[in-house]
Copies of this chain bind each other. A is one copy, B any other.
Amino acid sequence: MSISGRLTGARARAPLHAGLFETWLRRGRTASSYSASSEPSKVRALIYGNHGDPAKVIQLKNLELTAVEGSDVHVRMLAAPVNPSDINMIQGNYGLLPKLPAVGGNEGIGQVVAVGSSVSRLKPGDWVIPASAGLGTWRTEAVFSEEALIGIPKDIPLQSAATLGVNPCTAYRMLVDFEQLQPGDSVIQNASNSGVGQAVIQIASALRLKTINVVRDRPDIQKLTDRLKNLGADYVLTEEELRIPETKTIFKDVPLPRLALNCVGGKSSTELLRHLAPGGTMVTYGGMAKQPVTASVSLLIFKDLRLRGFWLSQWKKNHSSDEFKELILTLCDLIRQGQLTAPACSEVPLQDYQQALEASVKPFVSSKQILTM
């Protein structure tokens, strides 16, 4: 999220991880030290100087690159998605906020152009993704520090690589870290058509877990249902269908879910809790409804339900970069085996970012917006 162009006085380095990111912010770099060039340049970046509506605050600007020295890595970005968390960060509604101005985007796939003399793990031609949130991926090129990047295999599709580091990682960790699920166990989730939701369906299917997938009703619901079932969804229900008593017949065929994944909050999460098995856990990773999670006292006490949250940035803080790399390689295996595909994507050239930003906040847009550079 830092601007690795030429800055007045000092070169800024992309943050390595959230902890360093905060340190970097505390150094007191001021907005006036930002000096994006207004002359034409090959480096273009989507920059915001204030928090607010992304369509209003994001601007395409030119930046100059710094020289590549020491542990520097010159990266040409290939593609970068627009994720809900990118939007939240620009709006100022996120757990980690950059010093402004900042380059938007936290995820994407880049290719190494050149490396500094002390870089050991990467070489020109390698594919890289950000090690942490806050790198600022919506730009054509950048000079990052080696530690800010993770090399990934080049034998997976570009769209999978561009969308690998956030949503599938979140889905995998939530499926594995909270409940010890066995093949045949079930998982219930809402927002099942989101990037995370689609990854949950596929990874759960690979782990032989049954999924009960809740979506908002919409005109083309059958098309969506078919698409999610093609990904491996066992059940697809609308929020309204989840509330009717007949839904319980599902649990003649599958065990009550011990894990619920909540990206919505409000009433939707109340319904997920209602269907959890005793002792089960609901993990909240998003709040699309902008309403809190509410649990009756009796569900907590007598049904022993557990409410947790998941944030990939926190997981990365608590784990080594080797553990993150191992996670990435596990997901790449699933991709190669055809068990994990990228969500339906709409590729949008960087200069048409307005179109991508608008589409990303529209309801019922089933394709992920991917900026191409």
Does A324 count as interface, using CB distance less than 8 angstroms? no
A297 to B311, Cβ gap below 8 A?
no
A298's contact among B95, B295, B310, by CB below 8 Å, is which? B95
B296 to A292, Cβ gap below 8 A?
yes
B309 to A301, Cβ gap below 8 A?
yes
A302 to B265, CA, bound (A): 15
Does A144 count as interface, using CB distance less than 8 angstroms? no
A355 to B124, CA, bound (A): 85
A297's contact among B284, B295, B297, B302, by CB below 8 Å, is which? B284
* A301 neighbours in B (Cβ, 8 Å): 95, 284-287, 309-311
Given A304-B309, A305-B309, is A294 in contact with B297 using a C-beta cutoff of 8 Å? no
* A303 neighbours in B (Cβ, 8 Å): 309
Does A300 count as interface, using CB distance less than 8 angstroms? yes
Among A95, A287, A293, chain B packs the most CB atoms within 10 A around the CB of A293
* A307 neighbours in B (Cβ, 8 Å): 295, 300, 306-308
Min distance, Cβ A259 to any Cβ of chain B, angstroms: 15
Does A314 count as interface, using CB distance less than 8 angstroms? yes
Closest residue of B by beta carbon distance from A287: B297
* A308 neighbours in B (Cβ, 8 Å): 300, 304, 306-307
A269 to B300, CA, bound (A): 13
A306 to B301, CA, bound (A): 14
A310 to B307, CA, bound (A): 13
A193 to B284, CA, bound (A): 33
* A93 neighbours in B (Cβ, 8 Å): 298
Min distance, Cβ A3 to any Cβ of chain B, angstroms: 24
* A309 neighbours in B (Cβ, 8 Å): 297, 299-305
0/1 string, A270-299, CB within 8 A of B gives 1: 000000000000001111000011111111
Interface members, chain A 60-115 (any B CB < 8 Å): 93-95
Interface members, chain A 307-336 (any B CB < 8 Å): 307-311, 314
Closest residue of B by beta carbon distance from A263: B297
Closest residue of B by beta carbon distance from A266: B297
Min distance, Cβ A215 to any Cβ of chain B, angstroms: 19
Min distance, Cβ A51 to any Cβ of chain B, angstroms: 15
Closest residue of B by beta carbon distance from A296: B292
A14 to B285, CA, bound (A): 46
A298 to B287, Cβ gap below 8 A?
yes
A293 to B300, Cβ gap below 8 A?
yes
A304 to B314, Cβ gap below 8 A?
yes
A300 to B284, Cβ gap below 8 A?
yes
Give residues in A with beta carbon < 8 Å to B. Answer: 93-95, 265, 284-287, 292-311, 314
Q: A287-B297, A293-B296 are in contact. List 14 more A-B contacts (CB 8 A).
A: A95-B298, A284-B301, A286-B297, A292-B294, A293-B294, A294-B295, A299-B309, A300-B308, A302-B311, A302-B314, A304-B311, A304-B314, A306-B308, A307-B308
